[in-house]
Every structure is written in structure tokens, then in C-alpha cells.
Amino acid sequence: MSSRTWTALAAAWAIFMAAPVGAAEVEHALSNGATLITDEADEVLTDRAALDEISAQSQGEPDPTLEAYWSNPEFEVYFNHEAVGYVEMDDWDELDVNDLWESYVEGSKEQSKLFGYQIRPLRWVVEPTLDRKSAVAYYALEVQFGEEEPLINLVVYDFGRYGYEEMTLVQSSGAFPAARAGGIATRIAAAYEFGPESDYGDFTEGDTIAAMGAGGLVAAALGVKFGKGILAIALVFLKKFWFIFLVIPAAIWKFFTGRSKEAEAET
């Protein structure tokens, strides 16, 4: 068994502290040839029909990129596979965290006015971070909807030779160990193993290069993503509340509202 596998087995206990000592671990085969290693007591869904039902609840239609759902009473993690090619990291230093946050906050203000319900991005729990050695990027946000308990949305990107795995953990703010968020992100990624010769370090000349680098990916995730990529956090609200609000950064929001005004002017 590889050292990465042993790390993954330890991670299931170390991250969430939900498994009893001595509990058995299970390897789950995923549709793209990868493996997810979890505690035997945890719920893991990889069946296509079940995953389609989960994504259809929040998106209105099945999401073919959702390939696994992992949960226990303490957390939920959603796994989406994107076969976009090898994601380079040379644009990471161009990422402007302050601009991203300002756009995110402005977008939430616009939507609060529209819906008559306050949506408050509270803080970065973890600013966008790149671990070049492990080929993992992650960030975490805390958002409050009205007077409800704030939620944490931790998003992890595990980069491979042919694309990346996006892993989204959703948990109540009070239960989330913010000081350990970076370690949690790393360990979530360790529970996921790419297929043979598909790790980031297996890249060879001639492989497809993704159109967007790691920095651009995160920037897009905090913008365009909030249509499709809000899946995990939306599902939590579906379970708890009668509404769903999607927080869209200001630049994206202005694009859509501007297009609507143009359409009205043309009619």
C-alpha cells in the first residue's frame, strides 16, 4: 500500500474525529478511475442515479461531474471531477484576494436587495492557498443567510495529470475547526487517489494543458461557479430552509442584470 494511501486512512480519523478507534476503512472506486478512502461507517454514494438525484435537487438537472458524496453526522463532502487537462500553476501569484472578496461582498448586497433577505459574507476562513508540492489549492468562506447559523464552505482542488477533483465540504460554523482548516483541506485531498499514472507529477510532454491556470480557476470558482458550483451549500439549505439564495460576485451580477435591461430595451 502506498504512503499516500496510508495518509488517507489516517486522515479519515484525524480530520473529523468521528470514527471509533480501530474502525475499518473502505476503498470506493470512482467513475474516472480514482479511489476514495473513507471509514466504513461513513455514507458514500457513487451510484450514478443517486448522484443525479442529489444534483438535480439544487441545479434542476443532473450534474455529470458529481462523482461521489461522502458524509457522516459531522460533515458532508461533494466530489466533482473536471477532465480539463493539466492545470498549470504559474498564474497563481496574479490572484488578487482583496478584489475577489470585494466583488463577492458587492454581489451579496445586490442580491439582498433583490430578495429582501440579508446575505452576509462574513470572512475568509482561509484565503485562497496553493500547496505546490502536493498540487492542492483550497479556500474557505463563512456566509450567513438572515439570522440563521453561519455556514462554512471549504473548497479543495486536487490537481492531477488530466484535470482536477473539486471537493466541497459544508459544515456549520460552530462545528468547524477554523484554525485547522488548512490541515483539513490537505487531508481531504489525501483521501482521494487518482488512477494509475494520473497524478500531477505524471505529466509528460504532449499532455493536454488546461485553458485556465490554478489562479484563474479559483477566480472563476468565486464567480461563475455560483451557478453550478453552489451545489453543496445549496443542498444544505434545501434540507434546512424553504429557500435558496445564491451569492454572486458583483461583476457577474452586473453582467446578468445588464443583459436583462438590454433585453427589456429591445422589446
pLDDT (tens, 9 = 90+) of the chain, 267 residues, equals: 344 433 343 344 344 444 444 568 999 999 999 999 999 999 999 999 999 998 887 667 888 999 999 988 777 899 999 999 999 999 999 888 888 888 778 767 876 787 677 878 899 999 999 999 999 999 998 988 888 888 888 999 999 999 999 999 988 888 888 888 888 898 899 999 999 999 999 999 999 999 999 998 888 877 634 333 333 444 444 444 333 333 434 443 443 344 444 444 554
Angle at 98 between CA 97 and CA 100, to 5 degrees: 65
Can you tell me the distance from the alpha carbon of 29 to that of 32, in angstroms, rounded to the nearest whole number? Answer: 9
According to DSSP, the residues that pair with 123 across neighbouring strands are 142
- Across 132-257, the runs of DSSP E, i.e. the strands, are 136-145, 151-159, 164-172, 192-193
Give the domain CATH number at 174.
Answer: 2.60.120.1690
* pLDDT at res. 18: 44
The whole domain housing 145 covers: 3-266
Query: Are the C-beta atoms of 69 and 44 separated by less than 8 Å?
Result: yes
Can you tell me the distance from the alpha carbon of 182 to that of 186, in angstroms, rounded to the nearest whole number? Answer: 6
Query: Are the C-beta atoms of 167 and 78 separated by less than 8 Å?
Result: yes
Can you tell me the distance from the alpha carbon of 171 to that of 151, in angstroms, rounded to the nearest whole number? Answer: 6
User: SS3 of 241, please?
Assistant: coil
Can you tell me the distance from the alpha carbon of 142 to that of 127, in angstroms, rounded to the nearest whole number? Answer: 11
Q: What is the DSSP letter of 242?
A: S
| CA-only gyration radius of the chain, Å | 19
Can you tell me the distance from the alpha carbon of 36 to that of 12, in angstroms, rounded to the nearest whole number? Answer: 11
pLDDT 10s digits, 155-206: 999 999 999 999 999 888 888 888 888 888 988 999 999 999 999 999 999 9
Compute φ and ψ for 60, nearest 5 degrees. 90, -10
pTM, full prediction:
0.75
Residue 100 half-sphere exposure toward CB, CA atoms < 13 A: 21
Nine-digit cell string for 64: 455529470
Number of domains in the chain: 1
